[in-house]
Amino acid sequence: MAGFLLLIVAAFIIELTLVIPALMLFILQFPVVRSGLRRDYPEDWAKYTALILIYEAILAAVFFIMATTPRSYMDIGAVYNIFLILIFVIVLVIAMRYLIVRSYCYGTVLFSAGKWAGVHLKSDLFSKVNEADYAVRNPLNLKLKKGNRVKVSVRRGMANSVPTDIIEVVK
């Protein structure tokens, strides 16, 4: 991903034909990103892959539009184009933030003790949970074993969410 972003920036600054190797890196990074995300986030790897690729495509489009915009900053058309691009990117980032938020996350059971369980959660972009071990309730009295994958509901806060209850055991 870093190579793709560096080539896009170089295409913007140095030579526009560097977009071709950047696009090749964009296509070649997909299997690498997919395998890493599939290992770390088995339930959500497709969403994370799509999100990363969407953000990179948006960034590439912005750089392409900026590269094709006239270099004269005194031209009102160039300022107008840059202003529209900034508004578009801000609206898109805010929309993506609200579209991808959810009220649950996935974790691995560390131990179970009656109505409570210890669950390890990886950092989750969609539910805004930080990676840590959490003590959560088991209100449904699910039979939990060490290593089970579980779906955990989260209570949303201002910055981060807090895991609260185990909803189900994921197969």
Express each pLDDT in 47-74 by its tens digit.
888 887 777 777 777 777 776 666 665 5
Q: What tokens were used for 8? A: 């896009």
Q: Are 65 and 34 in contact (CB under 8 A)?
A: no
Q: What is the DSSP string of 28-96?
A: HHHHHHHHHHHHH-TTTHHHHHHHHHHHHHHHHHHHHHHHHS-S-TT-HHHHHHHHHHHHHHHHHHHHH
pLDDT-derived band at 17, boundaries 50, 70, 90: confident
pLDDT-derived band at 132, boundaries 50, 70, 90: very high
User: Is residue 114 classed as helix, strand or coil in its secondary structure?
Assistant: coil
Choice between 164 and 29, residue whose per-residue pLDDT is larger: 164
Q: What is the DSSP letter of 17?
A: G
Q: Exposure pattern of 44-67 as b/e (b: 16+ CB <10 Å)?
A: bbeebbebbbeebeeebebbeeee
Express each pLDDT in 85-131 by its tens digit.
788 878 887 887 777 778 899 999 999 998 999 999 988 888 889 99
Question: Average model confidence (pLDDT) for the chain?
Answer: 82
Cα Rg of the chain (Å, integer): 21
